[in-house]
Amino acid sequence: MKYLICGLGNIGKEYKDTRHNIGFHILDHFAESKNFTFQPGRYGDLLKLKYKGRILLLLKPNTFMNLSGKAVKFWLKKEKIKIENSLIIADDINLNLGKIRLRNKGGDGGHNGLKSVESELNTTNYPRLRIGIGNDFAEGRQVDHVLGKFSNEELEQVQSVTPNSIACIMSFVSIGLTRTMNSYN
Active-site option among 20, 25, 111, 145: 20
Please measure the distance between the N-terminal and C-terminal CA atoms of the chain and give it in whole angstroms. 25
CA distances from 157 to 10, 19, 25, 90, 121 (A): 21, 12, 13, 16, 33
Is residue 20 part of the annotated active site? The answer reads yes
d(CA 182, CA 58): 24
d(CA 166, CA 113): 20
Considering only CA atoms, give the Rg of the chain: 15
Give catalytic residues, as residue numbers: 20
